[in-house]
Copies of this chain bind each other. A is one copy, B any other.
């Protein structure tokens, strides 16, 4: 085993291909349904809001998809990202386990989100699009797309969930620094936003509502396409640069993970790290375990149903088979804003259903406990979303301490918490609530699931 604290590969080792897990799934994904026809969605259904190259990726059965050179050029601004061995944390925990993390906090936006943002900006620019619309929760995705827009010369408009817009002004400022426009959602600028405000003028918004607004704007404007930060196949596959780099870095570390952990909101950061390791399990017999971690306040995988549902509240998107809490579900205002989504990526949902990925949920105080332990051992401050993965990694390491097992634990450090210090403040002040799962509300939301034959 290497004695290194970290491995950072030279930029020539940035992957030249993304990995598409679809051909390697235990069974084909259920088709995406067009809600107007009730039939499987076609490429034409998606053309008003996506460029053809991304639609092809969305539906591709090719295992590997070449990364365009201009996208790799931009990746060089921060990739390959470091793979760390958390030696100081291991020592603090007194565990025989080896803990590794892939650190995505080095990107200009401080998270993994630019990995797909730059790819989406590139393909839209190539297709002659001049403007992108999107939604953002905590602001990680909105800032990443603003960055990508500035690097490829595209205008970007971000619908930001109102509660985050108010509570996280600095992520909003970051979006503006990269030249994008940001409006609080629900807004009066779209039919979807106005409909919500008519029902509830004080709505603090949700990711589902903001998606409806952004999709509507893209559908109605010729010059504008839509960009999504998670859930869809093409988004998840762009993130696989994380896992492909990790595979190479583990060769340098002369080790291999026994368990791969990540937090899940829509699923993209976790899929990005995990899918290349899942390929090694499915095709090459590597015996790796997989753990996806979500908040107890929005327990899509652990307490939702596996069913067809809309991706957004306004029912603008196609219907997908996935784990869902219902498209009308509005999760409580936990600080891990990026994990407040009612649905989950269809491919990741299917892997959970097939028992290939274990799902786990934690309350936010326990998650912040883990984050502070980590920060005081390793220095880096995790984003509240990332802290969910940290919590599971620490739990696994403590379990290994009990059993004496020398296992290798890998988790995705998806983003730093420098924009989330108000959440840490609330935690230290004892003001974080451990929201219980609002059972009745979910039952109510599940009654609105669309009927699909």
Contacts and interface: CB of A to CB of B under 8 A. Distances in A.
Contacts of A77: 5-6, 84, 378-380
A226 interface: no
Contact of A176 (B73, B108, B424): B424
Contact of A379 (B151, B376, B428): B151
A178 B88 contact: no
B110 A151 contact: no
Contacts of A178: 375-376
Interface stretch (A166-174, A205-213, A397-405): A166-174
Interface string A417-450: 0110110110010000000000000000000000
A147 interface: yes
A373 B174 CA distance: 14
B173 A425 contact: yes
Contacts of A170: 170, 418-419, 421-422
A48 interface: no
Contact of A110 (B109, B372, B418): B418
B8 A8 contact: yes
Nearest to A381: B177
A59 interface: no
A453 to B, nearest CB: 47
B88 A151 contact: yes
Given A88-B151, A170-B422, A428 B176 contact: yes
Contacts of A422: 169-170, 173
Interface string A176-218: 1111000000000000000000000000000000000000000
Contacts of A372: 177
A5 B174 contact: no
A150 interface: yes
Range of interface residues on A (Cβ < 8 Å): 35 or more
A8 B6 CA distance: 12
Nearest to A175: B421
A378 B107 CA distance: 11
How many copies of this chain are found per oligomer?
A: 2
A445 to B, nearest CB: 35
Contacts of A179: 376
Contacts of A11: 4-6
A171 B418 CA distance: 9
A379 B418 contact: no
A76 interface: yes
A356 interface: no
A106 interface: yes
A180 to B, nearest CB: 11
Interface string A1-14: 00011101011000
Nearest to A106: B106
Nearest to A171: B421
A290 B376 CA distance: 38
Contacts of A424: 173-174, 176-177
A177 B5 contact: no
Given A5-B73, A177-B381, 7 more contacts: A4-B11, A78-B379, A110-B418, A150-B375, A151-B379, A173-B425, A177-B421
Interface of A: 4-6, 8, 10-11, 73, 76-78, 84, 88, 106-110, 114, 147, 150-151, 169-171, 173-174, 176-179, 372, 375-376, 378-381, 416, 418-419, 421-422, 424-425, 428
16 contacts: A77-B379, A108-B375, A108-B378, A110-B418, A114-B379, A151-B376, A151-B379, A174-B381, A174-B424, A176-B425, A177-B375, A177-B381, A177-B428, A179-B376, A416-B418, A418-B418
> What are the 5 tightest A-B residue pairs by CB atom distance, in nearest-first order?
A108-B379, A173-B421, A5-B76, A170-B421, A418-B418
